[in-house]
Chains A and B, each alone.
Chain A
Amino acid sequence: MSASIEITNVTKHYGALSVLDDISLSIKAGEFVVFLGPSGCGKSTLLRMIAGLEDVTAGTISVADRRVDTLPPGKRGVAMVFQSYALYPHMTVAQNMSFGLENIGLPKPEIERRVSQAAATLEIAHLLDRKPAKLSGGQRQRVAIGRAIVKEPKAFLFDEPLSNLDAALRGRTRLELAQLHARLGSTMIFVTHDQVEAMTLADRIVIMHNRKIEQIGTPMEIYRRPASRFVAGFVGSPAMNFVPLTSVTSNGGTINIGTSGLGDIHAAFHLPSGFSPDGASLGIRAEDVTVLPAGQTGIALKAEVVERLGDRTLIYGHLSDGTKLTAETDGRSEARGGDTLQIALDTTAIHLFDAAGTAHHSEGD
């Protein structure tokens, strides 16, 4: 069973402190939506408001077309997996999973059926008689998910559930969550500050920043066409390069972009009239900066640090005017710190950000 979730003009204040400001969002039934943002952006608060663990100062929240923001958490038809798992330490795994079902008065055989079915799905059937203290982090995580599954909720809410796992287990659990979503087809909302989790799990990512939604889109939309300089800088590793503009002149369908570090660049753009280079910047991802073979001339990049990641090499350096820039090249690169490399830009992958941070994308992207 899955349900749509409608968040309409939701605001949250703690006294005079504003935490969320006029948030509106529609989540389709069966969709996997990830709230992504830096610490303190309000993403966990929004999730907790959907769960009913925080009051809504203004606005409404509906689950399956039923307004729920006035209902207690247990009546909203949602299940939540906490960052700390929040398993009941004195109860066995089976008791942890059945507690919520006992509270709604389900008959015992039905409780047993659901618990054993969820335990089989999550491969924790052999752990049912153990207490949480006797489980590993990954097993606790599964039990927490199992406790949510047995309730057969209209939506699953995950509050940074992978952050307490080690890197290898995090990767595996991420994959299992994706498989679980595919199998259950449930609506899932997942809060994280880890962009890899967001990119790999989400049907749509909701980027939150400074109490507001910055952008909603599919992972590739967010990555390729960020709505703002914040999104461009936040999503992607290494972060997008930003180079200050000195001038912008229109030339028919193309524009001339003046920069002090990269020189003049011609690119196909439709910029709004009145676009000013003051405070504006050019953005380009490291993978769209090509390191030219020896003998070819391009833009000079003085390498400072070279990171070899095996399949690719990241070169952190600076341009002639001192602007920092990162380039990505293949894993066999022999570049070293101190080398001066020649680079070229993929002008179809350029983004321009005005002084307010609003993004404009090249025609080719």
Chain B
Amino acid sequence: MSMDQTTYRPEALTGNRTLLTIAIILSIVMMAPVAWLVGLSIKDNKELMLGTESVFELPYTLANYVNILYSSQVFGWFFNSLVVAIGQTAGVLILASLAGYAFARLEFPFRRTIFVIVLFGLAVPEQAVIIARHQMFNWFGLHNSYLGLMLPGLSSAFGVFLMTQFFKAIPKEIDEAALLDNASTLRIFWKVLLPLTLPAQATLGIFTFLHAWNDYWWPLISATRKEMFTLTIGIASSQTNFAQSEGLGFLSAQAVFASLPVLIVYVIFQRHIVTAVSGGAVK
């Protein structure tokens, strides 16, 4: 059996070990708060009031999780988050795909200028427009509604950019072959090009979902009625005092519960996320 000698050079091995050490340290830094949170969530609230160091000692309990079922609004907030995240993801995918196709393939006046204006959206921080947006949503009575929670996230400059680049990367001969196959523009978009953008759709969908699920600021402003809270706002509102000396275990259990969909999405789409982060999506 032949072995690739270059893989086993001593200096390469040292390099790999250094990288591995760094990766392990970073993983610990990332995972420690999560482990801490999970630990807190399986401890009795009264015990935690005496000191959080009890997280390292027996006994552990699932009472906090059971309490979520009976005494928390977390299911309602969970549902709200789900509606907003799924709605926003679907909306972004549809709009970004259509816009990306238009910018990449269609000829229309001021196409480049409009594209630059759209990209300018990447440079404008949300904080800069939040007051004006709040005012507008107030005028239109959109606060405390699903639509109000979803709408701002639909204008995804990143999504339009990503999809435009992806459509551009598809060889034009594919469109031309479809044109010769007597396909209409809509059919070419729907049956030929859109399926080819699935990797980009997956990437954009995952990031949009995660962003919408984790979004705190806009729901904090837009959802003022408790039944319209998303999970992030709902859990924050569960804090009973500043030091959070009461109900810490219960709060942690809610946080763990809130993280579950994100974890599930990550596990299912892990491959696409890795591809997206490593920059291999647009190929």
Chain A residues with CB under 8 Å of chain B are: 51-53, 72-75, 78-80, 82-84, 86-90, 99-100, 103-104, 147, 151
Contact = CB atoms under 8 A, between A and B. Distances in A.
Nearest to B198: A90
B187 A86 contact: no
Given A51-B180, A80-B176, A86-B176, 11 more contacts: A53-B180, A73-B182, A79-B180, A80-B177, A89-B174, A89-B196, A90-B195, A99-B191, A100-B181, A100-B182, A103-B187
A151 B178 CA distance: 13
Nearest to A104: B182
B177 A88 contact: yes
B51 interface: no
B176 A73 contact: yes
B182 A53 contact: no
Contact of B174 (A53, A73, A79, A88): A88
Interface string B114-125: 000000000000
13 contacts: A72-B179, A74-B180, A74-B181, A80-B176, A82-B176, A83-B173, A84-B171, A86-B173, A86-B176, A87-B177, A88-B192, A99-B181, A103-B182
Nearest to A51: B180
Nearest to A83: B173
Contacts of A84: 171, 173
A103 B191 CA distance: 11
B192 A100 contact: no
Contacts of A80: 176-177, 180
Contacts of A75: 182
B183 interface: yes
Which of B171, B180, B191 has the most A CB atoms < 10 Å from its CB? B180
A100 to B, nearest CB: 3
A163 to B, nearest CB: 14
Contact of B178 (A51, A52, A90, A99): A99
A254 to B, nearest CB: 55
Could you tell me the dominant secondary structure of chain B's interface residues?
A: helix
Nearest to B171: A84
Given A89-B196, A90-B195, A103 B183 contact: yes
Nearest to A88: B192
A147 B195 CA distance: 20
Interface string B24-60: 0000000000000000000000000000000000000
A100 B181 CA distance: 4
A90 B196 contact: yes
B118 to A, nearest CB: 27
A53 B187 CA distance: 17
B177 A74 contact: no
Contacts of B179: 52-53, 72-74
Nearest to A157: B180
B173 A82 contact: yes
Contacts of A74: 179-183
Nearest to B195: A90
Nearest to B192: A88
Interface string B165-191: 000000101101111111100010001
Nearest to A82: B173
B192 A73 contact: no
A66 to B, nearest CB: 16
A279 B176 CA distance: 46
A86 B182 contact: no
A142 B278 CA distance: 35
Nearest to B191: A99
B177 A86 contact: yes
Contacts of A78: 180
A52 B176 CA distance: 9
Nearest to B177: A86
Nearest to A89: B196
Contacts of A53: 176, 179-180
B195 to A, nearest CB: 4
A104 B180 CA distance: 11
Contacts of B187: 103
Contacts of B195: 90
B65 to A, nearest CB: 43
Interface in B170-227: 171, 173-174, 176-183, 187, 191-192, 195-196, 198
A33 to B, nearest CB: 19
A100 B180 contact: yes
A79 B181 CA distance: 8
Nearest to B184: A103
B196 to A, nearest CB: 6
Contacts of B178: 88, 99
B176 to A, nearest CB: 5
Contacts of B183: 74, 99-100, 103
Contacts of A72: 179
A78 B177 CA distance: 11
Contacts of B180: 51-53, 73-74, 78-80, 100
A89 B191 CA distance: 12
B150 to A, nearest CB: 30
